[in-house]
């Protein structure tokens, strides 16, 4: 499991945005075709927040570094898809504490991202 944002582990900060056009760092945004195209055209490193299996499959095909799932009801299904189809992207869950990480371990999630590691991360 990859852990982003723990105080003891070096990590690349992420920035949540609704408009990726003005940023030049690793950005996180909700799945949106227009914003994805902007990120791709600008050669930005990006991660996507997705709401269903289709968006997860597309996020992987489009080169998202992390596919972030907020809805725990679908996270196991999407992790299974990622394992079956050998996604290059990592399936990630936003966490706040050790208990959240323990839950992610039980779900066999690829990565966890502490909310504090995401600038503007109160989405």
Q: What are the chain's domains? A: 2-119 (3.20.20.70)
Average pLDDT, consecutive stretches of 10 residues, N- to C-terminus, the chain (123 residues): 96 89 83 94 94 98 97 94 97 97 96 94 75
Angle at 24 between CA 3 and CA 113, to 5 degrees: 15
pLDDT of residue 21: 73
Q: What is the pTM of this model?
A: 0.93
Assigned token pair, 32: 């949106």
pLDDT of residue 122: 77
pLDDT of residue 57: 98
pLDDT of residue 19: 81
């Amino acid at each position: 499991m990859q852990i982003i944002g723990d105080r003891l582990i070096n990590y690349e900060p992420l920035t949540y945005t609704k408009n990726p056009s003005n940023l030049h760092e690793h950005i996180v945004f909700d799945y949106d075709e227009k914003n994805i195209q902007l990120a791709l055209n600008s050669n930005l490193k990006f991660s996507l927040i997705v709401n269903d299996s289709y968006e997860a499959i597309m996020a992987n095909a489009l080169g998202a570094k992390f596919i972030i799932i907020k809805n725990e009801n679908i996270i196991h299904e999407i992790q299974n898809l990622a394992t079956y189809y050998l996604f290059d992207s990592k399936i990630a869950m936003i966490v706040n504490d050790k208990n959240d990480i323990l839950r992610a371990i039980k779900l066999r999630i690829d990565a966890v991202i502490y909310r504090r590691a995401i600038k503007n991360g109160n989405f």
